A and B are shown apart, each in its own frame.
Chain A
Amino acid sequence: DAGVIQSPRHEVTEMGQEVTLRCKPISGHNSLFWYRQTMMRGLELLIYFNNNVPIDDSGMPEDRFSAKMPNASFSTLKIQPSEPRDSAVYFCASSLRRSDTGELFFGEGSRLTVL
């Protein structure tokens, strides 16, 4: 079975440009999470969805960040305009909510560099 698929794997852009990161969760999973990983802050939960509905976006840094989940098989994280401090690895993860495992399945991440 395919795991969580993220694209692009690497993105280099200039400050002020719009960045869109994409995620396809594991089929059948109904929870989706966006995390950001940096050396300074470690892993931070940005937002998560249950059944395509955003449940908690308290980790979204500011209005420049937005996330959508138009259907069960696709989600985007958008940064507009991007800034150098947004440089990080962004992970998408999915899970089957209300299972007894509580296990998240992570994608391989999207490494973003903002110059």
Chain B
Amino acid sequence: AQSVTQLDSQVPVFEEAPVELRCNYSSSVSVYLFWYVQYPNQGLQLLLKYLSGSTLVKGINGFEAEFNKSQTSFHLRKPSVHISDTAEYFCAVTFNTDKLIFGTGTRLQVFP
């Protein structure tokens, strides 16, 4: 069975500081991995995805993530955050692109 674990429910950080949001997955087969962002009172939108190829994936708004097969991780990073990055971030996994399994989310709070 597939599962996704986001260890941090909340991550507070000051503006312009770097941030890492952690995601670990469990699967017995090859997976596709995603990060979605949810701004207040909105639906989710795709930040970035890993399907194959380079393990370092770049997404929108300056975010990037690295797929680490040996550690079954797909951590999200940004070298310098902005106030506007305050949102809920969801890691998700699928192996057939039909059904996405989401993690419980990490609330990123950026302070001035």
Smallest Cβ distance from A36 to chain B, in angstroms?
11
B-contacting 9-mer, from A11-19, A62-70, A92-100: A92-100
Kindly count the residue-residue contacts between A and B in the assembled complex, taking CB atoms under 8 Å apart.
Answer: 58
Let me know if B11 is at the binding interface, CB within 8 A.
no
Q: Would you call B45 and A106 a contact (CB within 8 A)?
A: yes
Whether B43 contacts A98 by the Cβ 8 Å rule is no
| A99-B97 CB under 8 A given contacts A91-B44, A107-B43, A109-B43 | yes
Q: Is B87's beta carbon under 8 Å from chain A?
A: no
Contact B105 A102 (CB under 8 A): no
What chain B residues lie within 8 Å of A99 (beta carbons)?
Answer: 97
Q: Give 1 or 0 for each of A19-37: 1 = CB within 8 Å of chain B CB.
A: 0000000000001010100
Chain B interface: which size bin? 20 to 34
User: By the criterion CB–CB under 8 Å, are A102 and B43 in contact?
Assistant: no
Tell me if A50 is interfacial: C-beta within 8 Å of chain B.
Answer: yes
Give Cα A6–Cα B101 distance, bound, in whole angstroms: 22
Name the B residues within 8 Å of A43 (CB-CB). Answer: 44, 90, 102, 105
> Across the interface, which residues of B come within 8 angstroms of A71, CB to CB?
none
What A residues does B46 contact at CB under 8 A?
103-104
In contact, A100 and B100 (Cβ under 8 angstroms): no
Distance in Å: Cβ of A80 to nearest Cβ of chain B: 25
Q: Does B28 contact A (CB under 8 A)?
A: no
Does the CB pair A103–B49 fall under 8 Å?
Answer: yes
For A73-115 the 0/1 string (1 means CB < 8 A from B) is 0000000000000000001010101111111101111000000
Extra contacts besides A50-B98, A91-B44, A102-B97 (18): CB < 8 Å: A33-B100, A35-B102, A42-B102, A42-B104, A43-B105, A45-B99, A45-B102, A55-B98, A91-B43, A101-B51, A102-B34, A102-B49, A102-B51, A103-B34, A104-B46, A104-B100, A106-B43, A106-B45
A: residues with CB less than 8 A from B are: 4, 31, 33, 35, 42-43, 45, 48, 50, 55-56, 91, 93, 95, 97-104, 106-109
